[in-house]
Amino acid sequence: MIELENITKKFPGADSFSVDRISFRVNEGNICVFLGPSGCGKTTILRMINRLEEPSSGNIFVNGKNVLEVDPSGLRQSMGYVIQQIGLLPHRTIEQNVGLVPELLGWEADKTRKRVRELLEVMGLKPDEVVRKYPHQLSGGQMQRVGVARAMAADPPIMLMDEPFGAVDPIVRIRLQDEFLSLQQKFQKTICFVTHDINEAIKMGDYLIILNQGRLIQMGSPIDVLTSPADEFVLSLIGEDRGVKILDLTRCETLMEPMRETPDDLMGSGCFVQSIQPVKLALEVMMKKDSDHVAVCREEKVIGLLSWKNIKKHINRVSGEDE
Amino acid sequence: MSFDPGLFMKAMSHQAPPYILEHLNLVLIPMGIAILIALPTGIVITRPGYRHLSPRIMAVFNAGQTIPPLAVIAIFFPFLGLGYGPAILALTIYALMPIARNTITGISTVPEDIKEAARGMGMTSWQVLRRVELPLSVPAIMSGIKTSAVLTVSTAVLAALVGGKGMGAIIFAGINFFQPELILAGTIYIGAMAVFIERFIVLMEWLLSPAHLKG
């Protein structure tokens, strides 16, 4: 668990606070996303958690321990750290790069070697192909994967990630995000994740912390933020397509009308979705099949009917607009 | 002035060789001292606490390099007098600058994100210096040492003017006694030494270079 208590940061020579009296808590096993425009203080907050920056005032507790009272190097070795520029050491092989923290911790060479191979595999790289290579011999996507593998090498319970998928093209980014989320299902790390991309924030975050000019504007789950943005700033950050984004986070079962009998025509024509799939997908099916409603199934069984009217009503309700 | 091949052969085989060792001393001793001073200085100046000083110190080094070597010897002559010691001192000062300059440039051009990641992984600042900054600066530092060494081989000729011996002695003897054979022989040995030392440093540079640049 990570807890920030009234943290402020003012850089020498700056006339305003980069981080202004911020308090929040990140629970174990959660991904907490810091979201905001550049200069909002999100990276500074992240860097204060592993003491790459020192707060001007306030306290930071990690698992109950005040980080300002522990040795910074040891603290950093106990947290995974991933940055957008990756920062692999160019003169070290991939094996040495990933094994960096174990090396600093004094692991035996054999144990490190095994761990490195295991991690590269987890990150979707072929160990035999890459271990002897140097970073400049890899593609951007491969380097990002190595960067994440390096951060996870000593199995830290906490990961700090500063736009970790920011340096790759959108297609690779989406794949890396998906892979990372499925890894997270398994490993349940406590993660602080910095991004300026609202879509990435909604996708990755269990919890969003929205910042502007050093101040905390809103925190809450993605759906909370989308359905009740705190102010104009959050609204502009979310963008015009708020309704569609909400539909991406809403399951079909929450908007359907329960129904027992099977509408054969819908099932027969393939006009159905699974109950846990997002409403956005139901819209896609409706458009493709040119239908006003879809059947909602749980596995093989039909449990309800989702109509265009229901969806519209929902959008209008959450956007606070009248029908 | 005529050229006597017999005299030239004699200069090449008998008169010049005794000066080789003397001249090498005039190169190696100042280079050794210069490296011992310039390398740590360059490292200290690039540490966070002193980094703000480095542009000014670089400016001093750059200016120092523009003073002709003869002038360096001339400047120190009134204080230190004549002889071997003053020659060594002047050559050391001259040799310092390219090494310090390249050390500073080398270390300060290690990309920020690499140092940031290294610190973020939990390396102490000493480990970052030892395992990241220095290895990545080797090419720049070695090229500074190379420049400095080649420069010192030729500048050391002037040591003879203040009684510092070396290959300069035979060259200036040739000038004073109108014997171009001596000048040519001395110059050939100077050139050979410069090439030899340069090659040696290139080899060292390759041996010390970071692994990913060896290809």
ipTM for the predicted complex: 0.83
b or e along A140-162 (b: 16 or more beta carbons within 10 Å of the residue's beta carbon)? ebbbbbbbbbbbbbbebbbbbbb
Supply the pLDDT for residue A263.
65
**A274 and A207, same domain (yes or no):** no
Nearest Cβ partner for B122 among A91, A104, A136 = A104
Residues A19 and A139 reside in one and the same domain: yes
Model confidence at B80: pLDDT above 80: no
Does A323 map to a domain?
no
Count structural domains, chain A.
2
- What is the residue whose two structure tokens read 């099916």? A285
One domain, residues A23 and A73: yes
Q: Any idea what the CATH number is for the domain that residue A130 is in?
A: 3.40.50.300
Per-residue pLDDT reduced to its tens digit, B151-180: 999 989 988 888 878 999 999 999 999 999
A203 and A89 inside one domain: yes
In a domain, A198, yes or no: yes
Q: Give the end of a domain, one of A221, A239, A257.
A: A239
- Residues A140, A194, single domain; the answer is yes
Test B123 with A104 for CB contact under 8 angstroms.
yes
Same domain assignment for residues A130 and A163: yes
Residue that terminates a domain, selected from A196, A220, A239: A239
Q: Last residue of some domain: A239, A265, A280?
A: A239
Q: pLDDT band at B81, cuts 50/70/90?
A: confident
Alpha-carbon dihedral of residues B48, B52, B54, B60, nearest 10 degrees? -150
Specify the 3-state DSSP secondary structure of A160.
Answer: strand
Report whether B181 contacts B7 (CB < 8 A).
yes
CA pair distance A235, A245, nearest whole angstrom: 12
* Class of residue A105 by CB neighbours under 10 A (exposed 0-12, middle 13-18, buried 19+): middle
Q: Are B6 and B144 in contact (CB under 8 A)?
A: no
Quickly list H helices, chain A: 42-49, 72-77, 94-98, 100-105, 109-122, 127-130, 140-152, 170-187, 198-204, 222-227, 232-238, 242-249, 252-255, 264-268, 279-289, 308-318
**B139 lies within 8 A of chain A by CB:** no
Tell me: do A230 and A121 sit in the same domain: yes
Output the six-digit token pair for A26: 């990140």
Same domain, yes or no, for A205 and A173? yes
The CB density around residue B123, as the number of other CB atoms within 10 Å, is 24
- The answer on A153 and A258 residing in a single domain is no
Residues of chain A neighbouring B132 (CB-CB closer than 8 A): 89
Q: Which two tokens stand for residue A93?
A: 């092989």
- Nearest residue to B35 via CA among B108, B99, B106: B99
Report the candidate in B134, B114, B142, B117 with the shortest Cα–Cα distance to residue B46. B134
| CATH number of domain containing A286 | 3.90.1280.20
pLDDT score recorded for residue A234 = 94
- Percent of chain B at pLDDT exceeding 70: 99
Do A128 and A268 reside in the same domain of the chain? Answer: no
Best probe of the A interface among B121, B127, B129, by most A CBs < 10 A, is B121
Among residues of chain B, what percentage have pLDDT more than 90? 61
State the Cα–Cα distance between residues A187 and A250, nearest whole angstrom: 25
Residues A233 and A250 in one domain: no
Instruction: Give the type of residue at B52.
Output: H
Domain holding A278, by residue range, is: 246-318
Q: What is chain A's pLDDT, residue by residue, as a tens digit (323 residues)?
A: 999 999 999 999 898 999 999 999 999 999 999 999 998 999 999 999 999 999 999 999 999 999 999 999 999 999 999 999 999 999 999 999 999 999 999 999 999 999 999 999 999 999 999 999 999 999 999 999 999 999 999 999 999 999 999 888 889 899 999 999 999 999 999 999 999 999 999 999 999 999 999 999 999 999 999 988 999 999 999 988 888 888 888 888 888 988 877 666 777 778 888 888 889 899 999 998 888 888 898 888 888 889 999 898 888 887 765 44
A300, A221: one domain: no
Contact between B135 and A100 using a beta-carbon 8 Å cutoff: no
All structural domains of chain B = 5-209 (1.10.3720.10)
Q: What is the mean pLDDT of chain B?
A: 89
Residues of chain A with Cβ-Cβ distance to B51 below 8 Å are: none
Query: pLDDT, tens digit, for every residue of B103-156?
Result: 999 999 999 999 999 999 999 999 999 999 999 999 999 999 999 999 999 989
